[in-house]
Copies of this chain bind each other. A is one copy, B any other.
Amino acid sequence: MYEDKLKDECGVVGVYSKNRKEISRLTYYGLISLQHRGQESAGIAVKDNGEIRYYKEMGLVKEVFNEEILNSLEGEISIGHVRYSTTGESFVTNAQPLVVHYKGGKIALAHNGNLVNATKIRDDLEDQGSIFQTSIDSEVIANLIARNYKYGIKDSLIKSFEMLKGSFALVIIYNDKLVGARDPNGIRPLSIGKLNGDYILSSETCNFDIVGAEFVRDVEPGEIVIIDDNGIESIKYKEAKKALCSFEYVYFARPDSNIDGVNVYKARVNAGKILAKESFVEADMVAAVPDSGVPAAIGFAQASGIPYDIALIKNKYMGRTFITPDQESRELAVRLKLNVACENIKGKRIILIDDSIVRGTTSKRIINMLRKAGAKEVHFRISSPPVKHSCYFGIDTPSKKNLIGAMMTTEEICKEIGADSLAYISIEGLIESIGMGKENLCAACFNGNYPMEVPKMGHKFVFEKR
């Protein structure tokens, strides 16, 4: 399709409500607000007086749930999950939350991130006789907790999480507690909010604004929070170098979220401003590839003094699925979603801003469309550095040969996509735009400096491929 973007894998939300007031709706609205983090499947699990009920299905949040289902999901603690649509292994079996019976009762678990040692742990568990019914990391985590349960809630969590390598933001219903946890590097975000005495955990803070909750704080890297009637208990189970995913600011997170104290929209506008300084060019207008390029384009326009204008019109009624033209006219597929505002660009020199280039195919088609429609020049500016390396921590990166940034120089890419000029923001520029110091960010997809050892061939489908 016309989107040529890296994909996050999941969003999670959790609610602890003493007074049980509309817990499933709070969770539902949370998932609606996190829908951009995953459109493959959605699920909610609720603890209601010692019983855990759940519902999960393939589809968007609004498609999966209806009034009847939500009404059947009332209780004191709930967790929710959205998962992104990959090809191949999109089965409802792999939807989350995962709900399991274990010696001490029931656990429900939802996970955003990716473990790099899941196969190893799974092998060990299978050596001890465990069986697995899904291909998701969550089942591995649930098994660990179940095996450690005898040590009590806290220690079972600590012992289990100490074994995990990789990224995880977790929300768990564990007996009568709501548990939140973040990996020691804090690669994936997780925040705490409060609404009328109820606690909410969410991958992003936009959720809190929307439901009217107050932001309390972020869960810290290597922290477990255990929430019950007595409030929040915090356990710092492991220290490590922080390595928050910088791509959350580039593309994944919603602009109305703050992640670890930094507003996403502002970071994007900043990136546009820095980009204007780093690679200014004379032009008649600054335009964005909608919607994700808009904030950086606004920043670029502000910093450069070149007016912000519109070059591409989105068809807002297109979803992900419609009958596509056949191969020879892929450009038509792009135009059905994104048409050129012809009259507005004729004879103009355009600075076109996008947040990233992954494969480059859509960029090429868009630039071609602009030219055909009469654009005099198209200068392409990208508010992230070239993506050159695979992510092992929850982002679905294509294989290297499909990653144009890994295969070509900027000059070659410029020629390939047919732009008059092409510039990416520098890694330093991106880090400056976020403003939290490079020591706190993971920029491995740009520079290959992974925060931990990564497998040679590991990827998320490793379990299916055995």
Please give the residue numbers on chain A whose beta carbons come within 8 Å of chain B beta carbons, in ascending order: 25, 28-29, 32-33, 35-36, 39, 60-62, 65-67, 70, 92, 98-103, 107, 123, 126-133, 142-143, 146-147, 206, 209-212, 254-256, 258, 263, 265-266, 269, 291, 294-295, 298, 301-302, 307-310, 313-319, 321-323, 325, 329, 332, 335-336, 339-344, 373, 463, 466
Tell me the minimal C-beta distance from A126 to chain B in angstroms. 4
A131 and B127 form a contact (CB under 8 A): no
Q: Which residue of B lies closest to A321 (CB)?
A: B62
B344 and A263 form a contact (CB under 8 A): yes
A-B contacts, 9 of them at CB < 8 A, read: A36-B316, A62-B321, A103-B123, A210-B332, A210-B335, A256-B340, A291-B316, A298-B309, A316-B316
Docked complex Cα distance between A433 and B128 (Å): 51
Copy tally for this chain in the complex stands at 4
| Known interface pairs A101-B133, A131-B146, A344-B263; A339-B256 also in contact (CB < 8 Å) | yes
Q: Which residue of B lies closest to A297 (CB)?
A: B308
Q: Which residue of B lies closest to A105 (CB)?
A: B466
Query: Quick one: which of B25, B132, B325 contacts A101, CB cutoff 8 A?
Result: B132
Which 9 A-B residue pairs are closest in the complex by CB-CB distance? Answer: A129-B147, A263-B343, A103-B126, A35-B317, A62-B322, A100-B131, A101-B132, A256-B313, A131-B146
Contacts of A29 in B (CB 8 A): 325, 332, 336
Query: Quick one: which of B130, B332, B343 contacts A129, CB cutoff 8 A?
Result: B130
B339 and A209 form a contact (CB under 8 A): yes
A294 and B266 form a contact (CB under 8 A): no
| Known interface pairs A298-B309, A322-B62; A335-B130 also in contact (CB < 8 Å) | no
Most central of A101, A266, A466 by chain B CB within 10 Å: A101
Docked complex Cα distance between A197 and B211 (Å): 55
Contacts of A28 in B (CB 8 A): 323
